[in-house]
């Protein structure tokens, strides 16, 4: 009887040691790949056998037995999610499986700020290493993505919502463009569309106005006022005379060097709001949420003019005399002072 008890004690000790060793193995960090990082892509529908093989071949998990054991121990076999995963340090088998079960896929972010044109967004896309600028411009030409809201659109200028987007490492420009259009739809709600209709604006017109607001001011409190100024000018048939529209036309023609001259203001383009009355033919940039809201609900003002204070804010005027005095104070005098100081 004592011998049996001793045998049972020994067996229990051996089992406990084996279990301890088993748990230690599943918790021990492992790195079997060279270099700083390795990527493993799990495709939708792939089973645990294929996933295990990919992890082993990549050097993320040591062997098939370990992979199967950790799946059994964690019960996560049916929760592993598709996607591309980045491994850049030793991880235990438990940590690897937990990463796949969470769907902690590798994503890169790209930030597109308010007021950019398609051309400028394409440069950001290329500079961030996602692809070529031409690929983005081609994707941004898919006007059909917005034709239900704007049948006149020839491209997606104005409809690519500025934001920070998280993308897979090998994301296509089409994917980003689709997400940006979805972002625009999310922000430009039916409520805003109804407010625009109440102002007598089509979707294209209100987005065009919003783009002007975006280019003219970055101050949230000024956006409805700027929109109100332009709305007032449209009501009385006064030219908008918006510099950003001329710059947009000059850039498109390859004739802008960073300075808007008197000669540039005479450039013949339907986007030149000094020469042609009304709104330009379409948006000249990507407006953000605040500018879209301001354009749909412009402030009721009797201002017809505004000029920059050179600090990001503006002076608004009702008459040309008031405006000319503001221009002299905030533009002409500082310019002359700089000229004298440079001599």
Report the distance separating Cα 142 and Cα 154, nearest Å. 8
Predicted pLDDT at 19: 46
CATH class of the domain comprising 107-187: alpha beta
341 versus 91: the higher-pLDDT residue is 91
Report the distance separating Cα 99 and Cα 231, nearest Å. 53
Contact call for residues 165 and 109 (beta carbons, < 8 A): yes
Report the distance separating Cα 170 and Cα 43, nearest Å. 14
The torsion angles phi and psi of 250, rounded to 5 degrees, stand at -65, -40
Contact call for residues 222 and 299 (beta carbons, < 8 A): no
Report the distance separating Cα 83 and Cα 22, nearest Å. 29
Domain boundaries, the chain: 26-102, 107-187
Q: In the predicted model, what is the mean pLDDT of residues 154-162?
A: 98
Contact call for residues 306 and 226 (beta carbons, < 8 A): yes
Report the distance separating Cα 221 and Cα 264, nearest Å. 31
Residue (of 107, 35, 97) closest to 61 by Cα position: 97
Q: Is the pLDDT of residue 23 over 80?
A: no
Two structure tokens written together for 102: 């969470």
Q: Is the pLDDT of residue 343 over 70?
A: no
- Of all residues in the chain, what percent carry a pLDDT higher than 90? 83
Any idea which architecture 26-102 has in CATH?
A: 2-Layer Sandwich (3.30)
26-102 and 107-187 have identical folds: yes
Q: What is the mean pLDDT of the chain?
A: 91
Query: For 249-306, what is each residue's pLDDT tens digit?
Result: 999 999 998 888 889 999 999 999 999 999 999 999 999 999 999 999 999 999 999 9
> Quick one: pLDDT band at residue 6, thresholds 50, 70, 90?
low
Q: In the predicted model, what is the mean pLDDT of residues 326-331?
A: 90
Query: For 221-237, what is each residue's pLDDT tens digit?
Result: 999 999 999 999 999 99
* Predicted TM-score (pTM) of this structure: 0.84
Residues in the chain: 343
Two structure tokens written together for 71: 């799946």
Contact call for residues 85 and 106 (beta carbons, < 8 A): yes
> Quick one: pLDDT band at residue 18, thresholds 50, 70, 90?
very low
Report the distance separating Cα 118 and Cα 235, nearest Å. 30
Q: Is the pLDDT of residue 22 over 60?
A: no
The torsion angles phi and psi of 225, rounded to 5 degrees, stand at -70, -45
Predicted pLDDT at 2: 60
Predicted pLDDT at 240: 96
């Amino acid at each position: 009887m004592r011998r049996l008890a001793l045998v049972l004690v020994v067996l229990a000790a051996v089992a406990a040691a084996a279990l301890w060793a088993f748990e230690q193995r599943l918790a021990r960090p492992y790195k079997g790949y060279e270099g700083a990082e390795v990527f493993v892509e799990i495709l939708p529908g792939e089973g645990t056998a294929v996933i295990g093989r990919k992890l082993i071949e990549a050097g993320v998990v040591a062997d098939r037995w370990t992979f199967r054991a950790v799946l059994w121990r964690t019960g996560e076999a049916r929760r592993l999610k598709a996607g591309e995963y980045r491994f850049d340090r030793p991880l235990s088998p438990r940590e690897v499986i937990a990463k796949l079960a969470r769907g902690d896929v590798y994503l890169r972010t790209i930030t597109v700020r308010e007021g950019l044109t398609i051309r400028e967004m394409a440069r950001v896309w290329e500079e961030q290493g996602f692809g070529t600028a031409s690929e983005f411009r081609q994707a941004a030409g898919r006007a059909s993505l917005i034709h239900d809201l704007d049948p006149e659109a020839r491209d997606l200028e104005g409809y690519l919502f500025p934001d920070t987007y998280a993308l897979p490492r090998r994301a296509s420009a089409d994917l980003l463009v689709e997400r940006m259009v979805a972002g625009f739809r999310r922000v430009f709600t039916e409520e805003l569309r109804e407010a625009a209709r109440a102002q007598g604006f089509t979707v294209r017109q209100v987005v065009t106005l919003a783009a002007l607001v975006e280019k003219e001011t970055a101050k949230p409190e000024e956006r409805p006022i700027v929109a109100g100024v332009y709305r007032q000018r449209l009501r009385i048939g006064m030219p908008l005379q918006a510099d950003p529209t001329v710059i947009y036309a000059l850039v498109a023609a390859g004739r802008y060097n960073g300075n808007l001259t008197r000669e540039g203001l005479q450039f013949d383009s339907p986007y030149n709001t000094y020469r042609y009355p009304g709104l330009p033919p379409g948006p000249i940039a990507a407006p953000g949420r605040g500018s879209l809201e301001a354009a749909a609900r412009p402030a009721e003002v009797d201002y017809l003019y505004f000029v920059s204070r050179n600090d990001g804010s503006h002076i608004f005027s009702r008459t040309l005399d008031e405006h000319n005095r503001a221009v002299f104070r905030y533009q002409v005098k500082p310019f002359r002072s700089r000229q004298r100081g440079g001599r």
